[in-house]
Amino acid sequence: MSTTEPSTGSSTRIRQVEAISNGTVVDHIPSAVTLKVAQLLTGSNDQVFVGMNLRSSRSARKGVVKIAGRELDARILSCLALIAPEATVSIIRDYGVVKKFAVPVPDRFEGVARCANPNCVTTHERWTTRFQVVSRQPLIVRCIYCERSFAGADLSLL
C-alpha cells in the first residue's frame, strides 16, 4: 500500500513499503534475489515486509526487506554480503533511522555457504567451508580447498 508523506519543498514523497517502528531495513537489493534475502532474514515469529521491483535511483528496479523488532547479527550480515553485496542496511528505532551502512563484505567467508564444486572435500567430509574474496565488484569468491571460483550469489547458504 502506498502512502503519501509530506516532505520539504514542493514535491511529495511516496512511501512504497509501510514503515516499521523498530527493526532493520535492507534496501537496494537486486530484484532477482529479494526473496532469497527475505528467506535468509525470516525467523519463525518475525514480521517481515517484502517489496519487489520497486523504483530505484541507483538501478532500474530494486527490492526492500523490512524485519520488525530485530537487528541483524554478524553471521546474517556475512550471508547477506554473499547474495546482495550492494545492499544497504538501516537500523530503525522509534520510526527513525539511527544507523545506515553498506553491507560489509569481509575478506573471507567461513561456514556460511556450501562450495558449488561437487568434488570439493567440503561436500564429502566435515570441513568448515572457507571462501576468499577474489573480486568485490562483482563479488567473486574462491574456495580455499578446491580453489574454484564462484559468484557469491551462486552459492547455497548453510
The sign of the torsion formed by the CA atoms of 27, 29, 33, 37 equals negative
Measured in whole angstroms, the distance separating CA 9 from the mean position of its chain's CA atoms is: 33
Pair (98, 115) in one structural domain: no
31 and 61 in one domain?
yes
What is the mean predicted confidence (pLDDT) over 126-141?
94
Q: Is 89 helix (H, G, I), strand (E, B) or coil?
A: strand
Give 85-98 pLDDT, tens digit per residue.
999 999 999 999 99
Q: What percent of the chain has a predicted confidence (pLDDT) above 90?
A: 61
- At residue 147, the 3 state secondary structure works out as coil
153/82 same-domain check: no
**Mean of the per-residue pLDDT values for the chain?**
87
Pair 71, 88 in one domain: yes
CB 103 within 8 A of CB 77: yes
Which region among 24-33, 42-51, 137-146 has the lowest average model confidence (pLDDT)? Answer: 42-51
